[in-house]
Amino acid sequence: MNETVPGSSNRPGTVASSRLARRRFERRQKRRSTLIALTSTLVVIGLLVTLIPQTPGWYKVKRSFFNGEVFSETFPRLVDAFVKDVQIFLWCAPCILVWGMMLALCRSVRTPALFPLRLFAAAYTDIFRGVPVILTILLIGFGVPGLGMDRPWNSPYLWGSVALVLTYSSYVAEVFRAGIESVHESQRAGARSLGLSSGQTLRFVVIPQAVRRVVPPLMNDLVSLQKDVALVSLIGPIEILRQAGIDKSKFANFTPYLGAAIIFLAITIPETRFVDHLMARERRRTSGTAIR
Amino acid sequence: MSNTITPKISLRSVEKSFGDRTVLNGVDLDVSSSEVIAFIGSSGSGKSTLLRCVNLLESIDDGAILLDGVDISLPGLDPDPIRRRIGMVFQNFNLFPHMNVLRNITLAPRKVLGLSASESEERGRDLLRRLGLQDRAEAYPDQLSGGQQQRVAIARSLAMEPEVMLLDEITSALDPELVGEVLDVVRELKGNGMTMLLATHEMAFAREIADRVCFLHQGQVLECAPPNELFVSPKNERTQQFLQRVIDSGRL
Ligand SMILES: Nc1ncnc2c1ncn2[C@@H]1O[C@H](COP(=O)(O)OP(=O)(O)OP(=O)(O)O)[C@@H](O)[C@H]1O
Ligand SMILES: [Mg+2]
């Protein structure tokens, strides 16, 4: 038995020593892959750092994109402006999730009487998925305030957000629908055979499984929403992208854009990692042995 | 059969087709209370479809299905109150993977029967104890063996306190050594007087547990008799052929 344990150097036949050997083997395996990853990363970075400065245009690029002075001057302002982006994101995201789920449910209804609802939802997703976000923002952001309504109703924040919600809910609806359809028919049969109504089956059995399955693609959409919020600046609000543009003109330097990029990353990367972590925890909780 | 006692379940020339494929072609059968009926027949003969029709998971095209003398197959009837009285267990368990064992069992009693959380939990734990699963209440379906999963599925069905149980090849997805533990549960149900309709490929088990064994062929019940008659001296030629094949493959 001990022969099958790789790297074992202990007396054969004792269970304890076999377990020990296995652990040692796994630890060594892990250490080795970490080492490989680390070395290859260092080599790549080293090459970039030594090679790029030797290019002819490097000096100019460095001055206009990596200017420390401009960076420290503009960065705090950018952070302030980014608060707007986060705000828009925070009120859009829940609306998108709720409205997207409603659209997905409309498309998944099976009662023939509700066919018009299905048709509406299908047409809606086709239209808003097919038009670039930026056009929807421009059309709604300039079109609706043109109706000449009074104060809160002519705000570019409002109509920019509405445009984002309209577009992104169509993306999210498709994601939810795929999730709902991926739940096997036998799950519905199991639930219905217990006497649960079709609504209860959807609510307690189908949707919870559907949502768990679509969290990764959903997260994708939310991260791109976080980025597309910057497009709202096209109809007026001074958020981070616009602030960076203003500072770029003021200093005749591109460094503010770099600052803006860093700020975006500082929020989108943790967002994604956090969800990965939640998913992994859920998987550990409900599943059997993870397959390597 | 006695005429004075209403059968628990009656099938009256039940017909069902999918597209132009006729799957049930006039099935007639009366099942009295506490009777155990085993359906046997080759793959595709319509056993699952028949059980699904009784549970109203499929609508029938013609004929009638009566529960306690009341037609439950009328179009437009709300199926939910009827399904409450008829439990069904599937070949592939159909447990809800996102809920632990106890939640799987208590969901329907709470949402359908309106039991409180503590009442339904007590009922669930009682059932788990009866089926020898008391220490797996918090586990998730994927963390259980096939036999355990199927016993949970049975418990989930029993938690609704059904009057009739439909068991569709409940041991087919199990390793041979796990079959016994599930069949033990079915034996116990019979001991408690549960009316059961079961589709099975386990001839030995059908022989042991069924009051009557019905041979299904091309959507018709060709022969229905106590196991000692049907397995020993089948009258219908098709039944003889089927049993011969079963014997040849060493499954009897
Ligand atoms: N939803 C469906 N749509 C079309 N055909 C179906 C459907 N369900 C079952 N059938 C067909 O009906 C016939 C009977 O199927 P059924 O599942 O009832 O057979 P069975 O006796 O349970 O077989 P097995 O022993 O393999 O489980 C088969 O020919 C099958 O292909
Ligand atoms: Mg079947």
Give ipTM to 2 decimals: 0.91
Alpha-helical regions (H) of chain A: 15-51, 58-65, 68-108, 115-130, 133-143, 156-182, 185-193, 198-200, 207-228, 240-251, 255-286
Domain locations in chain A? 13-48, 69-287
- Residues A190, B96: C-beta atoms closer than 8 Å: yes
- A200 vs B111, B142, B143: nearest CB: B111
Ligand 2 centroid–CA B95 distance in Å is 18
Q: Which residues of B touch A205 (CB under 8 A)?
A: 96
A7-56 tens-digit pLDDT: 444 455 566 678 888 889 989 989 999 999 999 999 999 999 888 888 88
Asked whether the beta carbons of residue A193 and residue B157 sit closer than 8 angstroms, the reply is yes
Task: State both tokens at A158.
Answer: 């409002």
pLDDT score, position A19: 85
Nearest CB to B84; choose among A195, A208, A288: A195
pLDDT, one tens digit per residue, over A95-113 is 999 999 999 999 888 778 8
CA distance A36 to A49: 20
For ligand 1, pick from B22, B39, B40, B48 the residue to mutate: most ligand atoms within 8 Å of CB.
Answer: B48
Residue holding tokens 């984002």?
Answer: A164
Alpha-carbon distances of A182 from A147, A175, A258, rounded to whole Å: 44, 11, 41
Check pLDDT > 80 for residue A259.
Answer: yes
Q: What's the mean pLDDT when you consider all of chain A? A: 87
- Closest by CA position to B10, among listed B73, B61, B57: B73
Scanning every residue of chain B, which has its alpha carbon at the shortest distance from the alpha carbon of A206?
B96
Q: Report the amino acid identity of residue A39.
A: T
Mean pLDDT of the region A157-183? 94
Residues of chain B with pLDDT under 70: 1-4, 251-252
Quote the CA–CA distance of A125 and B192 in Å, as a whole number.
55
Between these two residues, A154 and A170, which has the higher pLDDT value? A170
Residue with tokens 């054969």: A12
Q: Which residue did the predictor score with more confidence, A150 or A140?
A: A140
Angle, CA of A179, B88 and B205, to the nearest 5° = 125
User: Is A189 close to B111, i.e. CB distance below 8 A?
Assistant: no
Contacts made by residues B2-5, CB under 8 angstroms, sequence distance 24+? B2/B32, B5/B32, B5/B33
Q: Are B213 and B31 in contact (CB under 8 A)?
A: no
Instruction: Tell which of A194, A289, A291 to mutate to test the B interface (max B CBs under 10 Å).
Output: A194
Chain A residues whose CB is inside 8 A of the B112 CB are 194-196, 200
Q: What is the largest CA-CA distance in chain A?
A: 88
Chain A partners of B84 at a C-beta cutoff of 8 Å? Answer: 194-195
- Per-residue pLDDT of B185-228, as tens digits, reads 899 999 999 999 999 988 988 998 999 999 999 999 999 999 99
User: Which of the ligands is closest to the CA of residue B47?
Assistant: 1
Contacts of A195 in chain B (CB under 8 A): 80-81, 83-84, 108, 112, 160
Q: What is the pTM of this model?
A: 0.83
- Residue of the nearest CA to atom 10 in ligand 1? B18
Altogether, the residues listed in chain B come to a count of 252
For ligand 2, an ion, list residues with CB under 5 A: B 48
pLDDT at site A9: 47
Q: Scan for tokens 């919870």, then name that residue.
A: A208
Spatial neighbors of A146 by CB under 8 A, at least 6 apart, are none
Question: Least CB-CB distance to A186: which of B79, B92, B112?
Answer: B92
Mean pLDDT of A77-103: 93
* Interval A118-131: pLDDT, tens: 999 999 999 999 99
> B168 CA to middle of ligand 2, Å?
7
pLDDT at A133 over 70: yes
**Which tokens hold the place of B88?**
């069904």
Radius of gyration of chain A, Cα coordinates, nearest whole angstrom? 27
For position A1, what pLDDT does the model report? 41
Cβ of B83 and A200 within 8 Å?
A: no
Band of pLDDT at residue A240, cut at 50, 70 and 90: confident
* Structure confidence at residue A285 (pLDDT): 79
Say what the pLDDT of residue A104 is: 94
Q: Report, as an integer, the average pLDDT of A79-85.
A: 90
Lookup: tokens for B189:
């149900």
Would you state the pLDDT for residue B251? Answer: 67
Ligand 1 neighbours by CB, cut-off 6 Å: B 18, 23, 41, 43-49, 169, 199
Report which protein residue has its CA nearest ligand 1's atom 6.
B18
Separation between Cα atoms, residue B21 and residue B44, nearest integer Å:
11
> Pick from B20, B82, B84, B51: which is nearest to B198 by CA?
B51
CB contact under 8 A, B90 and A190: yes
Domain A69-287 homologous superfamily, CATH: MetI-like (1.10.3720.10)
The residues that bridge with B89 in the sheet, in sequence order, are: B167
Contacts of A285 in chain B (CB under 8 A): 140
Q: How high is the pLDDT of residue A55? A: 87
